[in-house]
A and B are shown apart, each in its own frame.
Chain A
Amino acid sequence: MSDVAMNDLSETPVRTRATDAKTVLAVEDLCTDFRTKAGSVRAVDGVSFELKAGEILAIVGESGSGKSVTSLSIMGLIPEPPGRIAGGRVFFDGQDLTKLTDRQLQKLRGSSLSMIFQEPMTSLNPVLSIGRQMTEGIRQHLGMSADQARRHAVEMMRRVSIPAPEHRLKEYPHQFSGGMLQRIMIAIAMSCNPKVLIADEPTTALDVTIQAQILELMQELRDMTGAAIMLITHDMGVVAETADRVIVMYAGQKIEEGSVEEVFRAPRHPYTLGLLGALPRLGQAGAVGDTELNEIPGVVPPLTDLPPGCRFSDRCSYATDKCRAETPPLETKRPGHIAACWHSDELESPT
């Protein structure tokens, strides 16, 4: 992400590698509610987006912004009660996932729709061998024999660069490091050729060098298989390194969406600007923010007590009375770049 590269891209409408590819997952106006003691709370509020084949889409936001609930809603993993998908549709493979029965969803999960989690250390069953856990899904979804499945598992382990896979198949999770386990989780998730892989903060629990390796691995696998990846993270650095497109969420709503280049070069929402400003940078004043590490004042408002109008207005330095009264609509600010802010045009363009 050097300045030069960004300047080159500045005037041409940004195209991700996947613009022309077909949409594999379309989320329309998704709403997810949770019942709490303080009443019903809308954790995801009218979120829509599309995911195209071979694309890496990052969903960014603070804790409590609804990014994880979005992914869980797509997978049909919202515990019911207290949760409930209150509205919207999730189109995948020509069917609406929110209308499928448990059994139908179970067929999709792990085969064409798979997911990896934040904590690789606890995501594998401690009492089952790696081989057992790898072949389980392969046998179920691809209908292979035990022997075929074992060979397929070895192949997958090789693909995620695990040395001596035949030997390591017999070992148990505690014999692996965190980075290795996340590789194995990825191998399991990719073993049935999914069309969509949802990665919920896959690198948060790992140290930085391993983090880079895992992200690189995910990109490689995407290139190899053409799977679409939905990457949930709170780390703008991860987004910049990995994703093609980014969605920024705040208090349950999508507030900005665009290609990574666009959004990083000229964010159209003060919250995104704030997130980018909070990124530590080496050397002189970076493209965004100051030499000092900036922070966004305040915290995400509790979902039970949202301000009227724009939900970010309490913390926003651009906020006017209009912001506090009226909710800004999501508007196309530039081709392929939408944001929900009354003051998009006033945002200082970094650089």
Chain B
Amino acid sequence: MQQRVRNAMAIASAAGSHVDPVPDTQGRWYVFARNLHTVFSAATANRGAKLGFFLVLALIVVAIFAPLIAPYPADQMGAGMSLLPPNGDYWFGTDEFGRDIFSRVIYGARLTIQVGLIAVGISLTIGTITGLVAGYAGGWTERVLMRLVDVVFSFTETLIALAAVAVLGPSLTNAMIAVGVAAIPFYARVAYSVTLVERNRAYFDAAYVAGAGHLRLIFVHLLPNIVPPLIVVATLGVSSAVLAAAGLSFLGLGAQPPSPEWGAMLSAGRDYFTLAPWIMIYPGVAIMIVVLAFNLLGDGIREALDPRQKS
């Protein structure tokens, strides 16, 4: 109801501006903030999306303020007795070296965010450019690029990531690169298909006829129009990247001890599972929450951007 009133007011003020154009005193930042608000309220229209949004926000806050929140440094051994069950001092218990699991999970959030941003950044950038160029150029460029993408697509992501880590050597950075590279075909496909739609729209022809060059057509005219579906894919992509990187770390191919990466913590806790299950439970729950949060947020954004589903 509130939403509807707000919309009506927006329409009224827009209509008013046609009749009586007020001088522009609002400024760029005001417009920016208003747009941000519109996007936010659209993206969090359903309850799940709102939950996802606040969980992601919480994750970011936790990552930034990790040293303030965590009671102990992440790899301080003997912060407590080893293998203490969760209690008032060590909320999530301690591991075999007496490290505080709560602190490690908190610091792990930083790595998780890094993984999500960098891996998705790699696949989003390269994938978008590949798809855009293929869709724009057509002909041989298109055939070669998209067949390459198809070939990569036909391998499982994990397999590619495994191969990449095997070549580059196990480390969290390499795991991020591997996960990012493995997901490129996904983004390339999406960018490609949307580009095909957009380049057949009249505005593209109009811009071409106006003498716009290749770069301008691709980056000024096409790119902004293909962004919405890519935002959705990227948001959902963060969760799969986090999951894939944690998987690699669990297999010992990603983050190495004593790094407080959640996947690596899971892996290290395996030996003590029957004795001290909390070593595995808390990082596992953390992974689950983050993946869930990004999935909810992604779905919310998709709904907000999909005109067919708007009521």
Contact = CB atoms under 8 A, between A and B. Distances in A.
Given A117-B205, A124-B206, A125-B203, A170 B211 contact: no
B17 A137 contact: no
B220 A128 contact: yes
A124 B213 CA distance: 17
Given A124-B206, A167-B24, A106 B221 contact: no
Contact of B203 (A77, A111, A124, A141): A124
A93 to B, nearest CB: 15
B143 interface: no
A164 B21 contact: yes
A123 B211 contact: no
Interface in B205-256: 205-213, 216, 220-221, 224-225
B14 interface: yes
A202 B121 CA distance: 43
A110 B209 contact: yes
A308 interface: no
Given A167-B24, A170-B24, A125 B225 contact: yes
Interface in B268-290: none
Contacts of A114: 209-210
A136 B208 contact: no
Nearest to A163: B21
Contacts of B212: 110, 136-137, 140
A136 B208 CA distance: 12
B17 A167 contact: yes
Contacts, number: 70
Nearest to A122: B202
A136 to B, nearest CB: 7
Contacts of B14: 175
Nearest to B222: A125
A218 interface: no
Residue from B201, B202, B220 with most neighbouring chain A CB atoms (10 Å): B202
Contacts of A108: 211
Nearest to A164: B21
Given A123-B202, A167-B17, A77 B207 contact: no
Interface bracket on B: 20 to 34
A77 B225 contact: no
B224 A128 contact: yes
Interface string A102-118: 00001111110011110
Given A164-B21, A167-B17, A115 B225 contact: no
A127 interface: yes
A77 B209 contact: yes
A167 B16 CA distance: 13
Nearest to B201: A122
A133 B216 CA distance: 12
B153 to A, nearest CB: 27
Contacts of B23: 167
Given A126-B225, A164-B21, A170-B24, A77 B210 contact: no
B207 A125 contact: yes
Contact of A127 (B21, B213, B216, B224): B224
Nearest to A81: B139
A188 B210 contact: yes
A189 B211 CA distance: 11
A341 interface: no
Nearest to B31: A170
Nearest to A140: B211
B303 to A, nearest CB: 20
Contacts of B203: 122-126
Contacts of B213: 106
27 contacts: A75-B209, A109-B208, A109-B209, A109-B211, A110-B211, A111-B211, A114-B210, A117-B205, A123-B203, A123-B205, A125-B203, A125-B207, A125-B221, A125-B224, A125-B225, A126-B203, A127-B225, A133-B207, A136-B210, A137-B210, A140-B211, A141-B211, A163-B21, A168-B21, A170-B24, A185-B206, A189-B210
Given A109-B209, A117-B202, A167-B23, 10 more contacts: A75-B209, A115-B209, A116-B206, A119-B202, A125-B203, A128-B220, A136-B207, A136-B212, A140-B211, A164-B21
